[in-house]
Chains A and B, each alone.
Chain A
């Protein structure tokens, strides 16, 4: 660990967890001058206050370090480019100087993906946030990737459309971050995940090449190479612009909820609903703990599992969906609870308070999302809950199925606990390890939509299996000097602390 001295006039008093190699004054000055010419002097900073602000994302470990008076990592320089061409020039220079580049959207990632573990240049995309066009005929929006999610969705709603991508982080995440992590929103069963919504993109690759894919709904012209940027978390370049699917704002919305005695019955209902080709926008199934946590006002929900459904779109379609889903849920023993629980969910879904409430009280709280096929779903759910509960100090481990497919589901686990007198990070990592091990053993994927970042590096090799080597070779080919977001996704150094 190093003590950060900071610049003169500043009073700094914190430790830096990932000490980067400090650039010599001569080298830094040369790089700063070159970068100023690229982005303009108003769009560059090496002020200590900005370095602190870009020292982390929303990774719970980094937040804990903040509480403990530590700082995750400090970048050397922060840039705010306006064009893909400027980003290209930045990359070319970074290759020449062998200096890391870390893309930054809104810092809402929960796995450390934007932490500048080796210092370097933060490329903040917030000044590339223009909505370029909304095409009513094609039902598309073309937009720069730095746009905030809510600002995009609000503008679309104002114009009479929706993109249907409503993650819990909608208010505090960017389009670029969604694409980089292959994000999923709460309404994804109808509208798809962000990678389903994407039609074409513009991106800058690590050596400065700007690529732009053709705007067509589908083609049979070889592999879609631009798609390797999806889920690459900024390790293979920066997506600068995208054209995405949009929909007319739904004409009708029906809210329905059912409680079941067991998770098995509820999961079976969902499976059968999707098997019939019914795609409610929102399908969320809460286990008993989460039902009692969120739906304490619904008397029928006591000791049961709550399923909420939001069906929206054209009224003919929605009415049919409601009718059939009601029949299927009832056949599995589901008891209808009406729209009230769904209203409650809609009203509270952005109330993200847990970290603020519990972290300063040393209650370790985090979420883990995984995916699994239907035939292994229940087994995986039970195995992961048991694995987490077995760690001493865990107060609760619970889950809800947050996204579903005709073939399977995503389980979104939450755990909370206390390390007692032991080290908080050790406890945290122990719960994660137990959960990841159980997930892999049960045949699940270690991440459904949060990504890898730093936190999931220990399991990425096993997750990708035979593909791991291919991805690494691709990374080496596209980014021979490893400038793009180094220390992430298991492509290079061990960044575990």
Chain B
């Protein structure tokens, strides 16, 4: 909002103040400028308590779209409910194991972001609280301690996990960055991507050791460890001309989060859907006919954080004969698959139920589900989806040799 608009917007209140007796005017201005300090903590914290308080004082305008609340059905896990407990925690009024666990009961899906009058995402508000929890070193959920240990030791989220595609690393200036889940749980996705790259005649490279983007460390509140991952990745990724990722979270971290903490890659980072769409536009890929009915599931980070909505759809509809369906909740109003944030680590049963709910919404539209995130594919598969594929697999099958 421009300064002129701000003046116009608040002129009514200025006019009201002008008519008041001097003593009231003085009281009003004093409280406006100083009162809020007494409702904030005396000590320094990583959390933005002023914003948390705004969320806590909201009537919960985003609650209807919160997938965690949709499963748990408790005020405690509602978005503003979490902010209220976060506020009490930061004000040192209520600290308990339950309070700490609640600070992690968020999928980080950003559904709240769509409806918030302040533009908050509850998980972003909770990041600072989690750093404070880590600093205080009390009640940190044991699975998160284990995750930290694993990541620091193996540089991936999986204990003794794979960090490489185990193939010739290539010398191209386009780096394919698969991500932890693709390297370990959905190897068919990087296989499909590399097939497409080869068919498109693109010179690419992969890393001999791919470190996690660090998102789980950031989300858990292990900021020092996260910073190490960010600095490492900056060093190894910067020499390339462009980075292509299968995982939307990696893209989001490299594009948005690293720079916000002063770690800028200076290299364009693309999600695979953006990259493949460019390949189609440049005539590097031609598709054969595909006649299936598909429903596309928008991954939360891809749609709400990265605003990549059209690319996957345009890419899919470039396959002749494909019939693409939309679920009731699609685009920016998509629902989380259950693998968002750290939910599958800290609250596995909620994560599983979210996956079931989302799958049943999608299956109402078509039996074949396409997504564009390895974690979404893992989630749908674990709750029983039979026909779920990453967009790279569908494109790989459709590309003419």
- Give which listed residue, B23, B50, B64, contacts A171 with CB less than 8 A: B64
Task: Find out whether the CB atom of B8 lies under 8 angstroms from the CB atom of A10.
Answer: no
Task: Find out whether the CB atom of B98 lies under 8 angstroms from the CB atom of A350.
Answer: no
B287 within 8 A of A: no
- Give which listed residue, A124, A169, A396, contacts B16 with CB less than 8 A: A396
Q: Closest CB of chain B to A51's CB: distance in Å?
A: 10
Q: Closest CB of chain B to A61's CB: distance in Å?
A: 13
Q: Closest CB of chain A to B72's CB: distance in Å?
A: 9
A353 within 8 A of B: yes
**Which residues from B are CB-within-8-Å of A9?**
96-97
Task: Find out whether the CB atom of B39 lies under 8 angstroms from the CB atom of A360.
Answer: yes
A108 within 8 A of B: yes
A150 within 8 A of B: yes
Task: Find out whether the CB atom of B61 lies under 8 angstroms from the CB atom of A172.
Answer: yes
Task: Find out whether the CB atom of A352 lies under 8 angstroms from the CB atom of B96.
Answer: no
Task: Find out whether the CB atom of B59 lies under 8 angstroms from the CB atom of A108.
Answer: yes
B115 within 8 A of A: yes
Q: Considering the chains assembled together, what is the distance between the CA atoms of A304 and B99 in angstroms?
A: 50
Task: Find out whether the CB atom of B94 lies under 8 angstroms from the CB atom of A52.
Answer: yes
**Which residues from B are CB-within-8-Å of A363?**
28, 31-32
Task: Find out whether the CB atom of B63 lies under 8 angstroms from the CB atom of A106.
Answer: yes
B322 within 8 A of A: no
**Which residues from B are CB-within-8-Å of A107?**
60, 75
**Which residues from B are CB-within-8-Å of A257?**
none
Q: Which of B8, B17, B58 has the most CB of A within 10 A?
A: B58
A420 within 8 A of B: yes
Within 8 A of B (CB), among A142-177: 148-151, 154-155, 158, 169, 171-172
Q: Considering the chains assembled together, what is the distance between the CA atoms of A172 and B73 in angstroms?
A: 13
B9 within 8 A of A: yes
Task: Tell me whether A149 and B64 are in contact in the complex, defined as CB-CB below 8 angstroms, given that A53-B75, A356-B55, A393-B24 are known contacts.
Answer: yes
Task: Find out whether the CB atom of A289 lies under 8 angstroms from the CB atom of B16.
Answer: yes
Task: Find out whether the CB atom of A418 lies under 8 angstroms from the CB atom of B28.
Answer: yes
Q: Closest CB of chain A to B257's CB: distance in Å?
A: 26
Across the two chains, which residue of chain A brings its CB closest to B91? A69
Task: Tell me whether A296 and B9 are in contact in the complex, defined as CB-CB below 8 angstroms, given that A418-B31, A420-B27 are known contacts.
Answer: yes
**Which residues from A are CB-within-8-Å of B35?**
360-362
Within 8 A of A (CB), among B70-97: 73-76, 81, 84-85, 87-88, 91-97
B157 within 8 A of A: no
Contact with A along B21-61 (1 / 0, CB 8 A): 00110011001100110010000000000100111111111
**Which residues from B are CB-within-8-Å of A155?**
328
Across the two chains, which residue of chain B brings its CB closest to A104? B75
Q: Considering the chains assembled together, what is the distance between the CA atoms of A421 and B96 in angstroms?
A: 35
Within 8 A of A (CB), among B6-25: 8-9, 11-13, 15-17, 20, 23-24
Task: Find out whether the CB atom of A49 lies under 8 angstroms from the CB atom of B102.
Answer: yes
Q: Considering the chains assembled together, what is the distance between the CA atoms of A47 and B24 in angstroms?
A: 44
Q: Considering the chains assembled together, what is the distance between the CA atoms of A129 and B74 in angstroms?
A: 13
- Give which listed residue, B23, B53, B58, B94, contacts A10 with CB less than 8 A: B94
Contact with B along A414-440 (1 / 0, CB 8 A): 000110110000000000000000000
**Which residues from B are CB-within-8-Å of A58?**
59
Task: Tell me whether A158 and B328 are in contact in the complex, defined as CB-CB below 8 angstroms, given that A172-B59, A360-B36, A360-B57 are known contacts.
Answer: yes
**Which residues from B are CB-within-8-Å of A138?**
none
Please, how many residues of chain B have a CB less than 8 angstroms from a CB on the other chain? 55
Task: Tally inter-chain residue pairs, CB-CB below 8 A.
Answer: 170
Task: Find out whether the CB atom of A126 lies under 8 angstroms from the CB atom of B74.
Answer: yes
Task: Find out whether the CB atom of A362 lies under 8 angstroms from the CB atom of B31.
Answer: yes
Q: Closest CB of chain A to B17's CB: distance in Å?
A: 6
Task: Find out whether the CB atom of A11 lies under 8 angstroms from the CB atom of B95.
Answer: yes
Q: Closest CB of chain A to B400's CB: distance in Å?
A: 38
B62 within 8 A of A: yes
Task: Find out whether the CB atom of B8 lies under 8 angstroms from the CB atom of A296.
Answer: yes
**Which residues from B are CB-within-8-Å of A127?**
73
- Give which listed residue, B12, B58, B64, B74, contacts A356 with CB less than 8 A: B58
Task: Tell me whether A353 and B94 are in contact in the complex, defined as CB-CB below 8 angstroms, given that A53-B84, A67-B39, A296-B9 are known contacts.
Answer: no
Q: Considering the chains assembled together, what is the distance between the CA atoms of A54 and B78 in angstroms?
A: 12
B384 within 8 A of A: no
Task: Find out whether the CB atom of B61 lies under 8 angstroms from the CB atom of A352.
Answer: yes
Q: Which of A47, A289, A362 has the most CB of B within 10 A?
A: A362
**Which residues from A are CB-within-8-Å of B23?**
420
**Which residues from A are CB-within-8-Å of B63?**
106, 148, 171-172
Q: Closest CB of chain A to B30's CB: distance in Å?
A: 8
A24 within 8 A of B: no
A407 within 8 A of B: no
- Give which listed residue, A14, A67, A393, contacts B94 with CB less than 8 A: A14
**Which residues from B are CB-within-8-Å of A351?**
117
Q: Considering the chains assembled together, what is the distance between the CA atoms of A340 and B191 in angstroms?
A: 53
Across the two chains, which residue of chain A brings its CB closest to B7? A296
A136 within 8 A of B: no
Across the two chains, which residue of chain A brings its CB closest to B138? A11
Task: Find out whether the CB atom of A356 lies under 8 angstroms from the CB atom of B53.
Answer: yes
**Which residues from A are CB-within-8-Å of B36?**
360-361
Identify 8 new A-B residue pairs, CB closer than 8 A, beyond the known A48-B96, A66-B56, A108-B59. Answer: A10-B94, A11-B92, A296-B9, A353-B117, A360-B36, A395-B28, A418-B28, A420-B31
21 contacts between A and B (CB under 8 A): A6-B96, A11-B95, A49-B99, A52-B84, A52-B85, A52-B94, A53-B81, A53-B85, A58-B59, A67-B39, A67-B57, A80-B74, A126-B73, A171-B61, A172-B64, A296-B11, A350-B117, A356-B118, A363-B31, A392-B24, A418-B27
